Amino acid sequence: MLSRNVTPPATTTPTKTRRFRFNWVDGFLWFIRIAAIIVIVVGIVGSIQLFAAGEGPTLEQWRDLVISSFATGAMYGLIALGYSMVYGVLGFINFAHGEVFMSGTMVGLIASTMLFDSGFWDANPMASLLIVVLVAMFTSTLVAVLIERVAYRPLRNAPRLIPLITSIGVSFFLQYAFAGLFGVGVRSYPPAPGNLDDDVEIFGISIAGTKLLVIVVAAISMVALWYFVKRTKTGTAMRAVAEDKEIAGLMGINVERTIVTTFAVGGAMAGVAGLLWALLFRGVDFLTGFLPGIKAFTAAVLGGIGNLPGAMLGGVLLGLFEGVGPLLVLAGLGIPAVSQLKDFVAFSALILVLIFRPSGLLGERLGSEDRA
pLDDT in tens, 32-83: 889 989 999 999 999 888 888 888 788 888 888 999 999 999 999 999 999 9
Check residue 12 and give its pLDDT: 55
Mean pLDDT along residues 128-137: 94
Give pTM, 2 decimals. Answer: 0.87
One-letter-per-residue 3-state SS of the chain: CCCCCCCCCCCCCCCCCCCCCCCHHHHHHHHHHHHHHHHHHHHHHHHHHHHHCCCCCCHHHHHHHHHHHHHHHHHHHHHHHHHHHHHHHHCCCCCCHHHHHHHHHHHHHHHHHHHHHHCHHHHCHHHHHHHHHHHHHHHHHHHHHHHHHHHHHHHCCCCCHHHHHHHHHHHHHHHHHHHHHHCCCCEECCCCCCCCCCEEEECCEEEEHHHHHHHHHHHHHHHHHHHHHHHCHHHHHHHHHHHCHHHHHHCCCCHHHHHHHHHHHHHHHHHHHHHHHHHHCCEECCCCCHHHHHHHHHHHHHHCCCCHHHHHHHHHHHHHHHHHHHHHHHHHHCCCCHHHHHHHHHHHHHHHHHHHCCCCCCCCCCCHHHHC
What pLDDT band is residue 221 in, cutting at 50, 70 and 90?
very high
pLDDT top residue among 16 and 321: 321
In percent, the amount of the chain with pLDDT more than 70 equals 92
pLDDT in tens, 102-124: 999 999 999 999 999 998 998 88
